[in-house]
Amino acid sequence: MLFIGYVCLFLGASVDTDLTPLSNPPLTNVKWFQRMVEPDTMNPWLDITSRMMGSPSPEFARFRLSRANVDHMASYKLTATNPIGATDLIFFLNVTHAPRLIGDPVINVTTSGKEAELECRVMANPPPRPSSVYWRRVTDEAVPKTVPPRGDSQQETKKQSSKGPVVPAISDMKCNQELLSGPIKYYVKCFSPEPFYLVSTLFITSVDPSDVGRYECFVDNGIGSPVVRAIDLIYPCKPLLHSL
């Protein structure tokens, strides 16, 4: 048995390579097998000879794929046989791609309690780094007070609005970061439930009508353009009167 590591392809790429081993006497049989990748599961080898070769041919073994997709990411085994014995060649096909949203790109979240959870789920290969995932709020009115990442002195910026109460701003909030407005108002948590998947959640505490609006989650893994999930937060409340 020979393990040759892995073959890496971008999503949509094609491959056609000759993997026929040297043989004397000549090969009498060639078979292809595939083992799908699943977390914590050792799947059996599935015979895919007819799919890989069309009509069986004992003389050569080519690995052909047209427009590789995520479903092609798996372990592959070539078993070549001659009258003396058999040899296995095993490799892993890695298909890299930009982040993909799980679910709709724009969703609504309604809360009537004191805490809201805005969730962004993506699939990506390679997985995004925590520093490449961030949240922001779509608004021009702001009172940000951010926790400095390296112990620097905290800074507070205020911008008064003539249209109503001041709206806390979120800009470039990354994984496991907090944003203060008095007590902790916003914080972001990220985790990976399984390989190639990432979940980022923005938690909003002490929810009130000023928190209503659109929030966006950006995820980037260095391939293609970042993917964006937009979440409109809805908070039902009784009518509020503005003073003249």
**Is the pLDDT higher at 207 or at 162?**
207
pLDDT by residue (tens digit) across 15-34? Answer: 988 888 888 999 998 999 99
Same domain, 130 and 226: yes
Q: What pLDDT is stored for residue 194 in this prediction?
A: 86
For the question of whether the overall pTM of this predicted structure is more than 0.75, the answer is no
User: Is the Cβ–Cβ distance between 222 and 129 less than 8 Å?
Assistant: no
Same domain, 9 and 124: no
Tell me how many domains the chain contains.
2
**Is the pLDDT higher at 103 or at 140?**
103
SS3 40: coil
Query: Residue 157: inside a domain, yes or no?
Result: no
Query: Residue 37: inside a domain, yes or no?
Result: yes
Q: Is the pLDDT of residue 35 over 50?
A: yes
Same domain, 89 and 110: no
* Last residue in a domain, options 43, 75, 96: 96
SS3 78: strand
| CATH number of the domain within which 24 lies | 2.60.40.10
Same domain, 131 and 24: no
Give the CA count within 13 Å in the CB-facing half-sphere of 56.
Answer: 12
Helices (H) and strands (E) in the chain, counts: 1, 18
- For tokens 């000549």, the residue is 26
Tell me the residue range of the domain where 18 lies.
3-96
Q: What pLDDT is stored for residue 41 in this prediction?
A: 76
Residue type at position 209? P
